[in-house]
Amino acid sequence: MERAPSGMATPGQCFVQPKYEPVLQANQLTDAGAILALAGGTVVRSVPGRTTQRIELKSPDGSCLAAYLKCFEYAVPRSRRWQGPAGRMESGLASLNEWHQILALRKLGFRTADPIAAGWQPADKPGAIRSFVMTAEINGAVSGYDYWAASDDSKRRTLIRRIADLARRFHQAGFIHKDFYLGHIFVADRAGEPELTLIDLQRVLGPRTFRERWLVKDFGSILFSLERAGSKRAGLFRLFKLYLGGRRAGPAERRFLRKCLRKAARLHRHRPKYGEPESK
């Protein structure tokens, strides 16, 4: 299998995590075209320009690897730049942006789905491309919504604490998710503590310094999600207090919270464009 060592993969090439090369080779998935042609999996999400399916791959030792294959198809405006995470995303290569952001976040200690491969090729339509990112299934984890629904008050308070810590560290590291909903946080019980994993990173930007409006978008989205799950206002205030990490909430912090609450209220009135997934 030909691997793209760094930067932008050329058409048909793949970024591949070396430990998964034998699995892909055993399934004749040796280039981007073969992976994009995969069918027969269980479609778990389909919106214009993007489809996600759960697939099962046979390993050389006879075991089965469960994975998620997210495929994109977009027209590429000629004016778009292809360099850097923002350029990859804006040019339609959101899958490659997700790949690079997964690697960047994992280096900083954030949990993400284990990356398997990513790549792209021209689509049949003139000026369009097809791309994909494949990640391993997160064993023993469920969506934040499902975890919340199955938890008692004590577990929910712990989950709020862990989400606040995740959001604070994520933003302090200079990243913005842009779809920071409870459905994009997978949760597993590990030694009695919820372990959080971020998914759906195709729109993530960073590391860089962002204007406040992007922080408001992220934090307002998670407030919206928790309210939608059934959290009371006291839980939202507790989340914000923990997000501050011990800092006193002065006038600037209170203004920020009001903006986030207004953002959450707007999301309640106008749901996200394609809805928010309950689970992956």
Q: Model confidence over 256-280: pLDDT tens digits?
A: 999 999 999 999 998 766 666 544 4
Residues 127 and 198 in one domain: no
Tell me whether residue 163 is in a domain.
Answer: yes
Residues 127 and 161 in one domain: no
| pLDDT by 10-residue block (mean), the chain, 280 residues | 55 89 95 93 92 96 96 72 45 82 97 97 84 96 97 96 98 96 96 93 92 96 97 96 92 96 94 58
| φ and ψ at residue 45, rounded to 5 degrees | -160, 135
Tell me whether residue 6 is in a domain.
Answer: no
Residues 123 and 181 in one domain: no
Of 136, 164, 191, the position where a domain reaches its end is 136
Residues 122 and 181 in one domain: no
Tell me whether residue 279 is in a domain.
Answer: no
Residue 83 confidence (pLDDT)? 45
Residues 76 and 183 in one domain: no
Tell me whether residue 235 is in a domain.
Answer: yes
Q: Find the CATH number of the domain harbouring 88.
A: 3.30.200
SS3 275: coil
Of 105, 136, 167, the position where a domain reaches its end is 136
Residues 232 and 256 in one domain: yes
Residues 149 and 125 in one domain: no
Residue 123 confidence (pLDDT)? 84
Q: Find the CATH number of the domain harbouring 171.
A: 1.10.510.10
Tell me whether residue 9 is in a domain.
Answer: no
Tell me whether residue 3 is in a domain.
Answer: no
Residues 236 and 250 in one domain: yes
Residues 26 and 132 in one domain: yes
Q: How many CB atoms lie within 10 A of CB 147?
A: 22
Q: Model confidence over 145-197: pLDDT tens digits?
A: 999 999 999 999 999 999 999 999 999 999 999 999 999 999 999 888 899 99
Angstrom distances, CA of residue 184 to CA of 23, 136, 274: 27, 15, 14
Domain count, the chain: 2
Q: How many CB atoms lie within 10 A of CB 127?
A: 12
Of 113, 136, 159, the position where a domain reaches its end is 136
141 Cβ neighbours under 8 A, 6+ residues apart: 186, 187, 188, 195, 197
Domain span at residue 67? 14-136
Residues 204 and 234 in one domain: yes
Residues 130 and 170 in one domain: no
Residues 102 and 46 in one domain: yes
Tell me whether residue 99 is in a domain.
Answer: yes
CA 63, CA 49: separation in Å to the nearest integer? 32
